[in-house]
């Protein structure tokens, strides 16, 4: 087989593309645009991993395809380069984060270039570059001017290990999503962005975008819109009422107690003298717990009785009020009416504290609820009538409407919409982030910086360690903090908090449209032309963080008339994780794959011969099951690697990496190279090969539109196998194949294109359009016999499977007549000619 010198060929074409600016993009209103975007990487010290290669190869293939379809393609790349790892490294080594960040960026760029990716490098940007974050800060001032950025004393998620406050979206199960460190609640004055003001639009506009349903659902749940009523329960002996929020007003007659959050303002007033001590102790204990701990479903419910009572507004019943930490102060009114028969948490609570359980809803299908559980679904009301209201027999849904009307008429409550979404906690006490551009004056007032004062650059520090007490790293730079404000002629102190990692990625797709603009964040014309992003590809882990935050900023910018579309990313696709086989010895220590030999499915250590346990796991450095892109490119070439990462499975699914795929892909490339460079290629016609080429191109168009990049490789391999025995290969058919191949293997593609006599880059060629005449299946006539006698004929497309043939033949009325009742012993098939049933 022909081998090719990938190192020489790949270098050569990379130089060619750079010299000819093949990937450069320019606004051109006479052409249709296509903006394709990758989630920009955080340039970590570890360099590119295979997960990056999967996503970036996919967008690269699509970019090349759209370009060859004649679209004006924008495919940029940059760096999300503010972040904790650089800062932690700085704390450890004293190296300024700017230095490590620059080194890492250089490595990433070089690695990406070695893949031959179609990126317009003239548009490279980095979120930690002052020329960039000048505008991040400026957008913050816009948010501030619109009243969407405010300071609030809040109970926040503070992570002592990271020395910073985190957003709700960054905490999972009481731990930081970044590193799994413990998070505690702590009151702190913080900057907060009013994302809740956009809750409804963030929800509704999900209808405008073509995103995976799973991501839309995650966002919907995160926003958590719920419709219910707030009902006032008069407090006995006080001239006050306890408001509760409920989505299940239909269960009101079943309320047998009420629960208020430990932080509820009425706790003191409701608590009677003899319950005081217990309640105070309980409230004190609840303070240290996170919302997560408090609402964990499996956890045993705790609570204490206040001694106080409320009155149920629908029937005048007296209801005891408890304090329990499973009710959150921050949701609804911080108080609930508890209906143990129909809410599981209330049920568990009532069982534990021997509170009565009153059934008021029956399942519609007449079945009774399960023993030991609350019946939580909608149903038909029972035990729900009083002097003023009679609801027995109505459905839950009807009852809710009737009650809401009744409350609103009598002024006892009103219809209410609630969201789970909370405002976005926006300050971090870190060094390596955008300083928040605000000055605080002695009299407690503040001033947001103006554009001519931006970028606000952080001070130089030698010690980057967070103080750890909730104050920011920047507060250590006393000289930077204390200033005389020339604009207001007053002494002032700079804000010392910085923005979270997410800030820079809230608008980078906009800067890519016009990255060198010195006067503005982006030009109107550029934004209007390029936006929205046509296809955005990245990991699903950003569902409620980046993807929600960026939509929020975009909508604010839309309201400022700075962008012309309500949504930033029209279509979104998520790439699946890459998994690989890992090995462990008997001490549970990971073993490098290179040190493992396999025989009959048993894996042993090469040297010690110890039998190892093996597992398919997420590829990662710590599990020693990763692969180094640099090494692979060296050995197999970027083209083979790009093919391999596309071949292992559908983009959106989890897939298992195995290096055998690389060998297969490399062999395929060699074979293709051999054919294309052989003297079989000529102007001579060959119908069969031409037809295969048309079919390949048709399949390519179909698969590329659907982002089914792996199946198209299989088709290309099939094509090569089928034409390899041909004596002649029509040049046009070969060209078409090369055009498809070049999307995946661009270096070799260009090389072959040149060998076929073209002087310009293959990207300037037009992607072929198949002739429909070659796509229709050829029709053949089958003779159908029963015991050797002709009983029917079938006109069918060529090459049907045996199963399909038998099915169709037995359905044939005349054949069926002769087969009726008989047992088929054997079926003889002569492909595309004859089918004979032999009966017993």
CA 68, CA 556: separation in Å to the nearest integer?
36
Which residues does residue 210 pair with via DSSP β-bridges, in sequence order? 571
Q: Which CB atom, from 230 or from 582, has the smaller least distance to ligand ANZ?
A: 230
Task: Tokens for 144, please give them.
Answer: 């501030």
Query: Using N-to-C axis directions, what is the helix angle for 6-20 and 638-647, rounded to 10°?
Result: 90
CB-nearer residue toward ligand ANZ: 392 or 559: 392
Judged by CB, which is closer to ligand ANZ: 224, or 307? Answer: 224
Query: CB 373 → ligand ANZ: shortest distance, Å?
Result: 12
Q: How many residues does the chain have?
A: 840
Q: Of the two residues 48 and 404, which places its CB atom closer to ligand ANZ in the complex?
A: 404
Name the residue nearer to ligand ANZ (CB basis): 255 or 531: 255
Smaller CB separation from ligand ANZ, 63 or 391 = 391
- For residue 551, the minimal CB distance to ligand ANZ (Å) is 22
Contacts of 523 (CB under 8 A, 6+ apart): 513, 514, 517
Q: Is the distance from CB of 231 to CB of 407 less than 8 angstroms?
A: yes
Least Å distance, CB 361 to ligand ANZ, is 8
CB of 295 to ligand ANZ, least distance (A): 7
Q: Give yes or no for a contact between 503 and 432, defined as CB atoms under 8 angstroms apart.
A: no
| For ligand ANZ, the closer CB: 221 or 787 | 221
Q: Which two tokens stand for residue 15?
A: 């130089």
Min. distance of Cβ 141 from ligand ANZ in angstroms?
35
Q: How far apart are the C-alpha atoms of 840 and 837, rounded to whole Å?
A: 10
Return the sign of the alpha-carbon dihedral for residues 645, 646, 649, 650: positive
* Least distance between ligand ANZ and beta carbon 395 (Å): 15
Give least dist CB 15 to ligand ANZ, A. 59
- CA within 13 Å, CB half, 720: 20
Give the helix ranges, DSSP H, for 451-594. Answer: 478-481, 508-511, 524-530, 546-559
Q: Based on CB atoms, which residue is closest to ligand ANZ, 372 or 631?
A: 372
- Which residue's CB is nearer to ligand ANZ, number 320 or number 664? 320
Per-residue exposure over 389-415, b if at least 16 CB sit within 10 Å of its own CB, e if not: bebeebbbeebbebbbebbeeeebbee
Q: Which is nearer to ligand ANZ, 404 or 741 (CB)?
A: 404
Q: How far is the CB of 473 from ligand ANZ (least distance, A)?
A: 35
Q: How far is the CB of 100 from ligand ANZ (least distance, A)?
A: 44
Phi, psi angle pair for 352, to nearest 5°? -65, -40
CB 474 within 8 A of CB 487: no
The β-bridge relationship of strands 789-797 and 413-418 is: unpaired
CB of 767 to ligand ANZ, least distance (A): 50
Cα–Cα distance for residue pair 830/834, rounded to 1 Å: 5
Q: Which two tokens stand for residue 94?
A: 């004293």
Our CB check for ligand ANZ shows the closer of 246 and 625 to be 246
Strands 380-381 and 361-362: antiparallel
Beta-strand relationship, 413-418 and 226-234: antiparallel
CB of 417 to ligand ANZ, least distance (A): 10
The residue (of 327 and 477) whose beta carbon lies closer to ligand ANZ is 327
Task: With both helix axes pointing from N to C terminus, report the angle between 731-744 and 687-705 in degrees, rounded to the nearest 10.
Answer: 30
Give φ, ψ of 658 to 5 degrees: -145, 140
Smaller CB distance to ligand ANZ: residue 379 or 437?
Answer: 379
Nearest approach, Cβ of residue 333 and ligand ANZ (Å): 7
H-state helical runs in 77-145: 84-93, 97-114, 130-145
**Min CB(220)–ligand ANZ separation in Å:** 13
How, if at all, do strands 413-418 and 184-193 pair?
Answer: unpaired
Considering the complex, what minimum distance in angstroms separates the CB of residue 200 from ligand ANZ? Answer: 15
Contacts of 631 (CB under 8 A, 6+ apart): none
Burial (0-12, 13-18, 19+ Cβ within 10 Å), 803: exposed
Quote the least distance from Cβ 221 to ligand ANZ, whole Å. Answer: 10
Cα→Cα distances 595→628, 665, 765, Å? 16, 24, 47
* Cβ count within 10 A of residue 450: 11
The smaller minimum CB distance to ligand ANZ, of residues 335 and 661, is found at 335
Of residues 151 and 293, the one with the C-beta less far from ligand ANZ: 293
Q: How far apart are CA 713 and CA 690, in angstroms?
A: 19
User: Which is nearer to ligand ANZ, 149 or 324 (by Cβ)?
Assistant: 324
Is residue 56 helix, strand or coil?
A: helix
Nearer to ligand ANZ by Cβ, of 114 and 251: the residue is: 251
| Residue 141, beta-bridge partner list | none
Structure tokens at 593: 């794959």
Written as six digits, the tokens of 51 are 């997960």
Q: How many Cβ atoms from other residues are within 10 Å of residue 592's Cβ?
A: 11
**DSSP class of residue 9?**
H
Task: Please report, as ranges, the residues that interact with ligand ANZ according to CB under 6 A.
Answer: 226, 245-248, 251, 327-328, 331-332, 334, 336-337, 339, 342-343, 418
833, two tokens: 């000619």
Cβ proximity to ligand ANZ: between 246 and 384 the closer is 246
Query: Nearest approach, Cβ of 169 to ligand ANZ (angstroms)?
Result: 18
Burial 65-85 (b: 16+ CB within 10 A, else e): bbbbeebbbbbbbbbbbbbbb
Cα–Cα distance, 334 to 245 (Å, whole number)? 8
- Least CB distance from residue 243 to ligand ANZ, whole Å? 10
């Amino acid at each position: 087989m022909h081998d090719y010198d990938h190192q020489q060929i790949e270098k050569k074409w990379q130089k060619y593309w750079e010299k000819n600016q093949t990937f450069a993009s320019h606004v051109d209103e006479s052409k249709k645009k296509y903006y394709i975007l990758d989630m920009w990487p955080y340039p970590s010290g570890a360099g590119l991993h295979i997960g990056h290669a999967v996503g970036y190869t996919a967008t690269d293939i699509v970019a090349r395809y759209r370009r060859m379809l004649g679209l004006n393609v924008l495919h940029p790349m940059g760096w999300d380069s503010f972040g904790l790892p650089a800062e932690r490294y700085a704390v450890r080594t004293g190296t300024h984060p700017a230095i490590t960040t620059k080194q890492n960026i250089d490595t990433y760029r070089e690695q990406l270039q070695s893949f031959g990716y179609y990126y317009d490098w003239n548009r490279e940007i980095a979120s930690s570059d002052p020329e960039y974050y000048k505008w991040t800060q400026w957008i913050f001032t816009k948010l501030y001017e619109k009243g969407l950025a405010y300071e609030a004393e809040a109970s926040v998620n503070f992570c002592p290990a990271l020395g910073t406050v985190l957003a709700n979206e960054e905490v999972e199960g009481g731990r930081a999503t970044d590193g799994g460190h413990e998070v505690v609640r702590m009151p702190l004055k913080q900057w907060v962005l009013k994302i809740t003001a956009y809750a409804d639009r963030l929800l509704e506009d999900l209808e405008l975008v073509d995103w995976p349903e799973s991501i839309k659902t995650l966002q919907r749940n995160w926003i958590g819109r719920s419709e219910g009523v707030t009902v006032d329960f008069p407090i006995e002996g006080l001239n006050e009422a306890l408001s509760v929020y409920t989505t299940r007003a239909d269960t009101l007659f079943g309320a047998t107690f009420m629960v208020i959050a430990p932080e509820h303002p009425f706790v003191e007033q409701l608590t009677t003298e003899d319950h005081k001590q217990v309640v105070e102790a309980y409230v004190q204990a609840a303070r240290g717990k996170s919302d997560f701990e408090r609402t964990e479903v499996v956890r045993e419910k705790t609570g204490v009785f206040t001694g106080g009572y409320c009155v149920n507004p629908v029937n005048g019943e007296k209801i005891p009020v408890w304090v329990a930490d499973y009710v959150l102060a921050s949701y609804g009114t911080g108080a609930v009416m508890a209906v143990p028969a129909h809410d599981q948490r209330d049920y568990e609570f009532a069982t534990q504290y021997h509170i009565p359980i009153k059934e008021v809803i029956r399942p519609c299908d007449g079945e009774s609820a399960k023993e030991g559980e609350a019946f939580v679904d909608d149903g038909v009301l029972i035990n729900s009538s009083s002097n003023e209201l009679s609801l027995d027999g109505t459905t839950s849904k009807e009852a809710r409407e009737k009650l809401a009307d009744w409350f609103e008429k009598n002024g006892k409550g009103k219809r209410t919409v609630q969201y789970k979404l909370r405002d976005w906690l926006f300050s971090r006490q870190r060094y390596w982030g955008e300083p928040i551009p605000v000055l605080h004056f002695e009299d407690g007032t503040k001033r947001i910086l103006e554009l001519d004062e931006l970028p606000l650059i952080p001070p130089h520090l030698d010690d980057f360690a967070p103080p750890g007490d909730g104050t920011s790293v920047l507060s250590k730079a006393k000289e930077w903090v204390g200033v005389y404000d020339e604009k207001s002629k007053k002494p002032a102190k700079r804000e010392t908090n910085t923005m979270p990692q997410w800030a820079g990625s809230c608008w980078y797709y906009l800067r890519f449209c016009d990255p060198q603009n010195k006067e503005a964040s982006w030009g109107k014309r550029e934004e209007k032309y390029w936006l929205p992003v046509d296809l955005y590809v990245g990991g699903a882990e950003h569902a409620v963080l980046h993807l929600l935050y960026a939509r929020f900023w975009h909508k604010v910018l839309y309201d400022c008339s700075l962008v012309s579309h309500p949504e930033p990313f029209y279509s979104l696709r998520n790439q699946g994780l890459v998994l690989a086989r890992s090995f462990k010895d008997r001490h549970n220590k990971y073993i490098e794959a290179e040190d493992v030999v396999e025989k009959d499915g048993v894996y042993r250590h090469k040297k010690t011969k110890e039998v190892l346990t093996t597992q398919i796991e997420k590829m990662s450095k710590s599990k020693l099951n990763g692969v180094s892109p640099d090494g692979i490119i060296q050995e197999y070439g970027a083209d083979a690697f790009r093919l391999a990462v596309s071949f292992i499975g559908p983009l959106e699914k989890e897939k298992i990496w195995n290096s055998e795929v690389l060998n297969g892909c490399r062999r395929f490339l060699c074979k293709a190279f051999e054919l294309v460079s052989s003297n079989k290629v000529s102007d001579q016609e060959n119908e069969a090969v031409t037809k295969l080429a048309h079919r390949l191109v048709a399949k390519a168009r179909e698969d590329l539109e659907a982002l089914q990049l792996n199946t198209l490789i299989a088709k290309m391999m099939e094509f090569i196998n089928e034409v390899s025995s041909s004596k002649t290969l029509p040049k046009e058919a070969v060209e078409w194949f090369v055009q498809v191949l070049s999307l995946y293997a661009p270096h070799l593609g260009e090389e072959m294109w040149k060998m076929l006599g073209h002087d310009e880059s293959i990207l300037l060629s037009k992607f072929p359009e198949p002739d429909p005449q070659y796509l229709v299946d050829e029709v053949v006539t089958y003779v159908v016999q029963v015991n050797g006698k002709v009983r029917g004929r079938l006109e069918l497309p060529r090459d049907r499977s045996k199963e399909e043939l038998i099915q169709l033949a037995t359905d044939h009325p005349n054949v069926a007549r002769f087969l009726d009742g008989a047992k088929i012993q054997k079926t003889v098939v002569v492909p595309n000619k004859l089918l004979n049933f032999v009966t017993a």
